[in-house]
Each structure stands twice: as C-alpha cells, then as structure tokens.
Amino acid sequence: MIHDYFSLYSKDQTFFLLRIHHKVDFSDEIAWAHCWNISKEDCLDEITKKIFDYLTSGFDIIQEWQRDQEGWHESIKHLGFEKEIIEMELLPAFIESSQNTFVKKIQSRFETNADRFLKLEIPTYVGSLYNSLVFKRTRCKKPRVASAVCYIKVGSVLSGDWAALEKNLDQYS
C-alpha cells in the first residue's frame, strides 16, 4: 500500500522541520525535508503554505520545490525535535479547535477556499477521529485498531457533519 503524508516537528520553538514521507507497505522514506529557523520573519506563513500546497496538490508538488535537503534523513529523536502535527491528526485537530498555530492557519486557508476543497479527502487515524468526536460529545463506536487510516472529506469537518464522520468511523469498529 502506498501512502504519502507530511509531518511537522519543532525544536524549542526555535526550529521547525517539515518532512514529506513516502510510505510503501512497511518502508517509510523521507521524500522531501526542510528546516526553518523561527527567527525568519515569514517562517510560519511559509511553512503553512508548503503544507497547504502539499495537501491540495498532492505528492507531485514536491518536484516543484527545492530538491531534497541534505542532512535531515537521520532520526529526529536524537536531535531533540518534538511533534507539532502530522497529516493523519490534522482533521481531528480541526474538530477539537486546536490552538496549534499551524492547525489554525491551515484550517483558515481551507475555510477561505472551502468551495474548492470541500471534497478533498485527507488520511486520518481512526483513533484520533474517535477521540475528537468524543470530545464533541457524539455517540460513536470505538475503533478496533486506532492506528488504522481512513479518508475524511475536509467539507465534512468544516461543516460539522458529525453524522457523516461517525458513519465513516463505524466501518472500523
């Protein structure tokens, strides 16, 4: 199974590391990575734009970006980076009204361009979706495998169509 996704990590809220992963079956490779220093004035907007462009244009967009960044392929754990957000937890963060700066900026871009992206589907961990729906006090069944991935329409989340999300989640319980 082929699956591409983004991940964003931070180090002491000073550096941000954005990576685009290319996962085939059990192999997870970094297809593109870039590190930003937060002291750069438009850093947050630049990162948000990259994430939004990737979400709306897909994996092929990285061919237009600067090629692979050297030195960022090693494990980030020993570099002191902490997870900010990964693609499979983005829509649940929208549902929970996350205060994460990047989540808010990406959600704002989707809301501004809602007519163009309502049918866009984003991969989401069913466990994260379940937790966010419980947060909204909906009645949904707990999934058997929390790490399973389902595809959720952005429009369902932006419009608050919890019934459609519950129906999608029921397939995994």
User: Nearest Cα to 22, choosing from 64, 60, 56?
Assistant: 60
Residue ranges of the chain whose pLDDT lies below 70: 1-2, 66-80
Distance CA 112, CA 75 (A): 36
What is the residue-wise DSSP string for 65-76?
Answer: SPP--TT--S-S
Query: 111-146, pLDDT tens digit by residue?
Result: 998 888 889 999 999 999 999 999 988 888 999 999
Q: State the pLDDT at residue 96.
A: 92
Query: Which pTM does this prediction carry?
Result: 0.81
Query: What are the tokens at 78?
Result: 């020993």
User: Nearest Cα to 102, choosing from 4, 8, 6, 5?
Assistant: 8
Q: State the pLDDT at residue 129.
A: 96
